[in-house]
Amino acid sequence: MSGSILYIDSDRFEQEVLKSDKPAILYFYSEDCPPCEVLAPIYEKMAEKYGDRIKFVKIMRQANRDLAKSLGVTGSPTLLFFRNGLEVGKRLSGFLSKPQVRTAIEGVLGDVLPPPELKKENCDVIILGGGAAGLSAAIYAARAKLNTILLEEGVPGGQAASTYHIANYPGTPGVISGTELIANMRKQAESFGARVEDLREIFEVKLQGPEKYVRTEDEEYYGKAIIIATGGKPKPLPAEGAEEFTGRGVHYCATCDGPMYQNRKVVVIGGGNSAVEEAVFLTRYASHVTIIHQFDHFQATKTAQEEAFKNDKIDIIWDSEVRKVHGEEHSLTGVTIENIKTGEIREIPTEGAFVYIGTQPRTEIFKGQVQIDDNGYIVASEDTKTNVEGVFAAGDVRTKPIRQVVTAAADGAAAGIMAERYITSQVKRIPVQVR
């Protein structure tokens, strides 16, 4: 037992899960599994919150292979929900966020817990998002002696942490893993006094006026300035069945989910840098990788293309788009593609599809409060100022031509400095009381 989590082996599955008098959530995990490391603290937090209404059970997949196989669990982490001896709800697997897990639990319970009494926190700068932009902003703001709190809905990292290697960030030995780069940034921000808070899912923001407000599940934060650095998320594959198979064959992060495809065939959809580089990365695990791209040439850099062309585990299907994703209950069996020049339709057998067709900004919660362009990006230029005083937008979330780790970090620097200047100017503006 850890907190209210029960660790079991398959011999206790029937008693603890199928015969449980309350609903149960079963978490298959593995060792050396980065998405399991991300999920572990989320699971613990959920167990603290919902543990009296749903039983939280953990089981190691490698040590309980027969049970995993009988349940159709092929990868870690996988979450399954049971009630009265039957599986219910939607299973989740792969790289999971707190909102995804919370929503699934509430779906099984059939209601939402009322919010607890909220803790109040005051600070100078609230930074939303713990990717390269947010962490860089935290370094600059904290170093300027501002009381700085960074809120991240998962664990810090963002897109950079989902990249197995970054070869174009200056000042590294040449190539650095995204997780190492981000861990360094976090350490640096904390060394200057920034508070980096994990698992803070944001429910509400109020950006107008001199006092900015952010509400998470358990806290209310009040700050003098806000830096929005919520970045982007992958664009979903626009194909029939793609949503249904997400996490069960359709994936958006090769670093997170690639290891599940040891000696299996996968496809990669896309033709930019991310698609081509991640296809090469996937050849470490997969027996074969097919890249499906809608044009007759890649948009990736020459170096990335050369690596893919010379890799004999990779082949490429040009001029084609995925129309349908199909499979059995728990696993993918293939994708249907259409050649957009000839109209030919054919099926490509595969067990995994990794999608890299671009990203979209994460700005839903700011709509109506700050200027956002037609594509969903927050309108801000190089100085990261938005149309709202005291609100800055840094990194992939803002309107800009180049979205890279180094440009996100540069934005963070600008936003940290601009926030300090803004706060200082506000202090000067406070009228002196004449008595």
Ligand X SMILES: Cc1cc2nc3c(=O)[nH]c(=O)nc-3n(C[C@H](O)[C@H](O)[C@H](O)COP(=O)(O)OP(=O)(O)OC[C@H]3O[C@@H](n4cnc5c(N)ncnc54)[C@H](O)[C@@H]3O)c2cc1C
Q: Is the CB of 20 or the CB of 179 nearer to ligand X?
A: 179
Return the structure tokens found at 68: 């995993």
**Stretch 168-187 residues interacting with ligand X (CB under 6 A):** 168-169
Q: Say which of 256, 373, 374, 383 is annotated catalytic.
A: 256
Q: Between vectors from CA 130 to CA 129 and to CA 135, what angle results, nearest 5°?
A: 115
Binding residue for ligand X (CB under 6 A) from 78, 163, 179, 384? 163
Q: Is the CB of 299 or the CB of 339 nearer to ligand X?
A: 299
404 binds ligand X per the rule CB under 6 A:
yes
Is position 256 annotated as part of the catalytic site?
yes
Contact 86, 55 (CB under 8 A): no
Return the structure tokens found at 155: 């664990």
**SS3 for 76-97, per residue?**
CCEEEEEECCEEEEEEEECCCC
HSE-CB at 20 with a 13 A cutoff on CA atoms is 22
CA–CA separation, 348 and 335 (whole Å) = 5
From the list 123, 122, 129, the residue with the least C-alpha distance to 411 is: 129
Return the structure tokens found at 45: 């937090």
CA–CA separation, 66 and 76 (whole Å) = 15
**Stretch 97-156 residues interacting with ligand X (CB under 6 A):** 128-134, 151-154
23 binds ligand X per the rule CB under 6 A:
no
Q: Is the CB of 49 or the CB of 83 nearer to ligand X?
A: 49
User: Which of these ranges, 11-19, 321-329, 341-349, 393-401, lies near ligand X under the rule CB under 6 A?
Assistant: 393-401
Q: What residue type is 229 in one-letter code?
A: A
Query: What is the distance of C-alpha 314 from the center of its chain?
Result: 27
Binding residue for ligand X (CB under 6 A) from 23, 35, 75, 157? 157
From the list 360, 93, 101, 40, the residue with the least C-alpha distance to 251 is: 93
x/- mask, ligand X, residues 34-73, rule CB under 6 A, reads ----------------------------------------
Q: Say which of 123, 253, 396, 411 is annotated catalytic.
A: 253
Contact 228, 128 (CB under 8 A): yes
Q: Within 10 Å of residue 33's Cβ, how many Cβ atoms? A: 21
Q: Is the CB of 67 or the CB of 370 nearer to ligand X?
A: 370
Q: What residue type is 54 in one-letter code?
A: I
User: Which of these ranges, 45-53, 158-166, 341-349, 366-374, lies near ligand X under the rule CB under 6 A?
Assistant: 158-166
Supply the minimum distance, in Å, between the C-beta of residue 124 and ligand X.
Answer: 19
Supply the minimum distance, in Å, between the C-beta of residue 252 and ligand X.
Answer: 8
Q: Is the CB of 91 or the CB of 362 nearer to ligand X?
A: 362
94 binds ligand X per the rule CB under 6 A:
no
Residues whose CB is less than 8 angstroms from the CB of residue 302 and which lie 6 or more positions away in sequence, other chains included = none
Q: Is the CB of 5 or the CB of 417 nearer to ligand X?
A: 417
Return the structure tokens found at 276: 């081509």
Q: Say which of 33, 36, 124, 257 is annotated catalytic.
A: 257
Binding residue for ligand X (CB under 6 A) from 64, 74, 76, 162? 162
Q: Is the peptide bond before 156 cis (omega within 30 degrees of 0)?
A: no
Is position 257 annotated as part of the catalytic site?
yes
User: Which of these ranges, 112-120, 258-266, 367-375, 390-398, lies near ligand X under the rule CB under 6 A?
Assistant: 390-398
Q: Is the CB of 332 or the CB of 409 nearer to ligand X?
A: 409
Q: Phi and psi (nearest 5°) for 212?
A: -95, 150
CA–CA separation, 270 and 295 (whole Å) = 9
Q: Is the peptide bond before 77 cis (omega within 30 degrees of 0)?
A: yes
Is position 253 annotated as part of the catalytic site?
yes
Q: Phi and psi (nearest 5°) for 390?
A: 80, 5
Supply the minimum distance, in Å, between the C-beta of residue 358 and ligand X.
Answer: 9
Supply the minimum distance, in Å, between the C-beta of residue 406 and ligand X.
Answer: 6
Supply the minimum distance, in Å, between the C-beta of residue 349 and ligand X.
Answer: 25
x/- mask, ligand X, residues 349-368, rule CB under 6 A, reads -------------x--x---
In the complex, which residues of this chain contact ligand X (CB under 6 A)? 128-134, 151-154, 157-160, 162-163, 166, 168-169, 202, 229-232, 274, 278, 362, 365, 395-397, 403-406, 408
Query: Any idea which residues carry the catalytic annotation?
Result: 253, 256-257
